[in-house]
């Protein structure tokens, strides 16, 4: 659009002052802070109660320079002492939020990225979004050929804003790094994850991977990407029916059996990703799980997908095989994998943390050690213990950055099960599921990805 030989410098010099605007537009964290007060999507009553507490919390965190990471990856949030439950669940649901866009802005941003206005591209395009998404919002549309699709539009310049924040954090957060609460590796991991989330082309690839791999479950729907109608900031995909989990529960008042069944499906879906796909949907916001009336789960928003390292996969296998029972050497190896180099320097601390983690998983799978097998996710015991463990990890300054997004996903799962008030024989459910997978792997080796 701008010709190369344009005398940019001559004109440019006059407008340096325009750059002042950067300080206004250039901070993602600034958006987050403002959102607490400006976001029109939240229900007013919910907003009112949460705002006050969250505002204090965030201000406190910002002052101590630990906060940004909390909002970015939700990892350091457990550093604060026990929080009231509503704030706790807000944190568990934390989603990368961008400010809401009014119809005029959404239309303008679509044009900025796609080169044409939505009304030139689609037969129908609803100006109001029907859902908030990571870093943007989702609009309904109908293609010229008549297909119903969902169009996700990213808030303008969010990538630049995140980059600015990390530049700032790198210089400002030195005191935090010195005390060891947040390592450089942790910063890098969170930054990597966040920047990846701003690239909708990457997200489109994630969607295709998941679509292929979870298909055999038969009860999970993943959208199909319309590459011809997408860019790195606009993502068009087939429309997935269903209601966000909280709405589904409120409206349909499903029976306990139905709740349990959905709970088992969520548990299976999580374990399939963890143990067989080597990557995980790490944005567990309840709005990303669309439940249809027959219990089908629509999974959307694949911006934040964590691909596991070989070490992490080894660790998961060790947990599966209960390797810690095979002596100290194995236990130390596991602790090293979880908490990194820190753990080998402080073996007692690592041992204590590992014991806690094991106790947690014993609580999660009581059936495996011969106790009452059914876990009641309706109690907040599970979520609270998980927070407690992370709190301890932070206090002892032992965090493996590899876990930042995994923890987000795991905590999200328990939060969903908590919302469902699911009662599940976890061990039995997983044994059954792995048998199913094993049978499939044996019979299907010659065809398909399995």
Partner 1 sequence: MLRKVEYTHILSMKRRRPGKTRKKAAAGQRESPGKRAQNKEKTKRDILRAALELFSRRGFFRTTTKQISDKAKIAEGTLFNYFKTKEDLALYFFEQEIAGLIAWYEEQHELQEAALPEKLFAIIHRHLERISPYEEFIGAVYLRALQPVSRLNLLSLETQELNLRYLKFIQQILKDTEEKGEIPKVGDFGAYALGLFHLAIISYWLQDASQGKENTLALLDRSLKLANSILKKEAWEW
Report, as residue numbers or ranges, the catalytic residues: 283
Site string for partner 1, 237-256 (x = CB under 8 A): --------------------
Toward partner 1, which CB reaches closer, 112 or 428? 112
Site string for partner 1, 1-30 (x = CB under 8 A): xxx-xxx--xxx-xxxxxx-xx-xx-----
Question: How many residues touch partner 1 (CB under 8 A)?
Answer: 43
Sole binder of partner 1 in the list 47, 53, 111, 423 (CB under 8 A): 111
Q: How far is the CB of 240 from partner 1 (least distance, A)?
A: 27
| Beta strands 297-299; 220-221: pairing state | parallel
Sole binder of partner 1 in the list 68, 99, 263, 336 (CB under 8 A): 99
Toward partner 1, which CB reaches closer, 63 or 294? 63
Q: How far is the CB of 161 from partner 1 (least distance, A)?
A: 7
N-to-C CA span, the chain: 48
Q: How far is the CB of 116 from partner 1 (least distance, A)?
A: 11
Bridge partners, residue 101, by sequence: none
Toward partner 1, which CB reaches closer, 112 or 142? 112
440 forms part of the interface with partner 1 (CB under 8 A): no
Subset of 43-72 contacting partner 1 (CB under 8 A):
55
121 forms part of the interface with partner 1 (CB under 8 A): no
SS (H, E, C) the chain: CCCCCCCHHHHHHHCHHHHHHHHHHCCHHHHHHHHHHHCCCCCHHHHHHHHHHHHHHHHHHHHCCCHHHHHHHCCHHHHCCCCCHHHHHHHHCCCCCCCCCCHHHHHHHHHHHHCCCHHHHCCEECCCCCEEECCEEEEEEECCCCCEEEEEEECCCHHHHHHHHHHHHHHHCHHHHHHCCCCHHHHHHHHHHHHHHCCHHHHHHHHHHHHHHHHHHCCEECCCECHHHCCCCEEEEECCCCEEHHHHHHHHCCCHHHHHHHHHHHHHHHHHHHHHHCEEECCCCHHHEEECCCCCEEECCCCCEEECCHHHHHHHHHHHCCHHHHCHHHHHHHHHHHHCHHHHHCHHHHHHHHHHHHHHHHHHCHHHHCCCCEEECCCCHHHHHHHHHHHHHHHCCCCCCCHHHHHHHHHHHHHHHHHHCCEEEHHHHHHHHHHHHHHHHHHCCCCCCC
Subset of 129-188 contacting partner 1 (CB under 8 A):
155-158, 160-161
Phi-psi region of 221 (alpha: psi -120 to 50; beta: other; left: phi over 0): beta
Toward partner 1, which CB reaches closer, 9 or 179? 9
Sole binder of partner 1 in the list 62, 83, 87, 112 (CB under 8 A): 112
Sole binder of partner 1 in the list 108, 217, 261, 316 (CB under 8 A): 108
Toward partner 1, which CB reaches closer, 1 or 145? 1
Q: How far is the CB of 32 from partner 1 (least distance, A)?
A: 13
Dist CA 127 CA 119 (whole Å):
10
Q: How far is the CB of 299 from partner 1 (least distance, A)?
A: 29
Q: How far is the CB of 58 from partner 1 (least distance, A)?
A: 12
Toward partner 1, which CB reaches closer, 195 or 363? 195
Sole binder of partner 1 in the list 47, 87, 103, 376 (CB under 8 A): 103
Sole binder of partner 1 in the list 45, 63, 104, 294 (CB under 8 A): 104
Sole binder of partner 1 in the list 41, 60, 102, 326 (CB under 8 A): 102
Q: How far is the CB of 296 from partner 1 (least distance, A)?
A: 36
- Interface with partner 1 (CB under 8 A): 1-3, 5-7, 10-12, 14-19, 21-22, 24-25, 31, 34, 37-38, 55, 99, 101-105, 108-109, 111-113, 115, 155-158, 160-161, 233
């Amino acid at each position: 659009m701008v010709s190369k030989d344009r005398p940019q410098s001559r004109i440019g010099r006059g407008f340096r002052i325009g750059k002042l605007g950067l300080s206004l537009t250039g901070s993602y964290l600034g958006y987050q802070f403002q959102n607490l007060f400006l976001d029109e999507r939240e229900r007013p009553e919910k907003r009112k109660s949460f705002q006050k507490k969250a505002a204090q919390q965030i201000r406190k965190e910002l002052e101590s320079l630990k906060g940004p990471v909390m909002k970015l990856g939700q990892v350091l949030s457990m550093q604060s002492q026990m929080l009231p439950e509503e704030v706790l669940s807000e944190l568990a649901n934390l989603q990368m939020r961008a400010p809401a866009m009014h119809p005029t802005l959404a239309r303008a941003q679509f044009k900025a990225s796609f080169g044409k206005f939505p009304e030139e591209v689609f037969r129908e395009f609803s100006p109001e979004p029907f859902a908030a998404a990571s870093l943007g919002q989702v609009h309904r549309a109908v293609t010229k050929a008549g297909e119903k699709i969902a169009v996700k539009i990213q808030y303008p310049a969010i990538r630049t804003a995140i980059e600015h924040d990390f530049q700032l954090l790198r210089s400002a957060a030195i005191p935090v790094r010195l005390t060891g609460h947040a390592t450089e590796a942790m910063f890098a991991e969170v930054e990597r994850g966040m920047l990846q989330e701003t690239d909708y082309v990457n997200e489109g690839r994630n969607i295709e991977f998941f679509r292929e791999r979870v298909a055999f479950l038969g009860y999970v729907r993943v959208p199909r990407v319309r590459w011809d109608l997408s860019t790195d900031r606009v993502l068009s995909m087939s429309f997935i029916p269903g209601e966000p989990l909280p709405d589904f529960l409120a409206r349909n008042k499903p029976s306990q059996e139905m709740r349990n069944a959905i709970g088992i499906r969520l548990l299976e879906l999580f374990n399939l990703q963890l143990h067989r796909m080597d990557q995980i949907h790490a944005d567990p916001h309840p709005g990303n799980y669309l439940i249809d009336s027959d219990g089908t789960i629509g999974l959307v928003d694949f911006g934040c997908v964590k691909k596991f390292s070989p070490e992490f996969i080894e660790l998961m296998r060790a947990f599966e095989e209960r390797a810690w029972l095979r002596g100290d050497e194995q236990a130390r190896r596991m602790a090293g994998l979880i908490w990194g180099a820190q753990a080998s320097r402080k073996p007692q601390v690592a041992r204590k943390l590992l014991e806690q983690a094991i106790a947690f998983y014993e609580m999660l799978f009581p059936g495996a050690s011969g106790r009452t097998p059914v876990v009641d996710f309706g109690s907040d015991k599970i979520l609270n213990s998980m927070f407690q463990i992370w709190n301890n990890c932070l206090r002892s300054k032992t965090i493996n950055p590899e876990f930042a997004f995994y923890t987000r996903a795991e905590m999200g799962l328990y939060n969903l099960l908590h919302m469902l008030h699911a009662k599940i024989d976890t061990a039995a459910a997983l044994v059954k599921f792995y048998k199913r997978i094993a049978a499939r792997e044996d019979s299907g080796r010659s065809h398909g990805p399995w």
